[in-house]
Amino acid sequence: YSAFREKDIAIGAYHFFRFDLDGKSQAQHFLHHLAGKEFQIPLVVDVEHENNPSVPREKVIDRLHAFVKEVKRQTGMKPIIYTNGIGYSDFISDDFDDHTLWLSSTNSWRPAMMDCTFWQFNIKADLSAIAHDVDLNVFRGSREEWEGYLKEHKPFKVSSNW
């Protein structure tokens, strides 16, 4: 966080959404750990089946609504939803289409078929400066559109009133 701030790199934060836990509680836990920090990119919630127990679809959607509502109440912004094709069709498409979408798609199914703002196109990139595989993501727009996106989502600080 500090190194990115020193280099004036836009900062965001990410939460892996658990299907088996209360959404509001997850949001509060997430925000508690971000308290006092400033961000330039809306917070992100990762919604996917992998590493999650089997929970009825309706329950997952209800819990995700509670998560989103609490994050918006505390920050004034809807979180970005990160997911893959299966997560999108199972949980996002009918209920959260008003959210910014960050799509992980590393196979033949590409986000050109979808209206996503961010695209994770590689989950096992080999970069010489990093000792392990890394994810590669892009903002799906021009440099000018990226600057506009950052201006639209003005820096915000997560409240430290916990």
Local confidence pLDDT in tens for the 162 residues of the chain: 888 889 988 899 999 999 999 999 999 999 999 999 999 999 999 999 999 999 999 999 999 999 999 999 999 999 999 998 889 989 998 899 889 998 887 665 555 556 788 888 777 777 777 788 887 777 888 999 999 999 988 888 898 765
The predicted structure's pLDDT at residue 28: 97
What pLDDT is recorded for position 85?
84
Can you tell me the distance from the alpha carbon of 119 to that of 138, in angstroms, rounded to the nearest whole number? 5
Phi, psi of 48 (to 5 degrees): -155, 155
What DSSP designation does 111 have? G
Q: What is the pLDDT of residue 112?
A: 54
Spatial contact of 51 and 21, defined as CB atoms under 8 Å apart? no
Torsion angle defined by CA atoms of residues 137, 101, 13 and 2, in that order, rounded to the nearest 10 degrees? 50
Q: Find tokens 């009825």 and name the residue.
A: 56
pLDDT value, residue 155: 85
Q: Give the per-residue pLDDT at 154.
A: 85
- Compute the C-alpha angle 107/15/38, nearest 5°: 120
pLDDT for the residue 127:
76
For residue 22, what pLDDT is reported? Answer: 98
Q: How far apart are CA 106 and CA 121, in angstroms?
A: 5
Q: What is the pLDDT of residue 162?
A: 55
| Contact in structure between 15 and 43 (CB atoms under 8 Å) | yes
- Are the CB atoms for 110 and 90 separated by under 8 Å? no
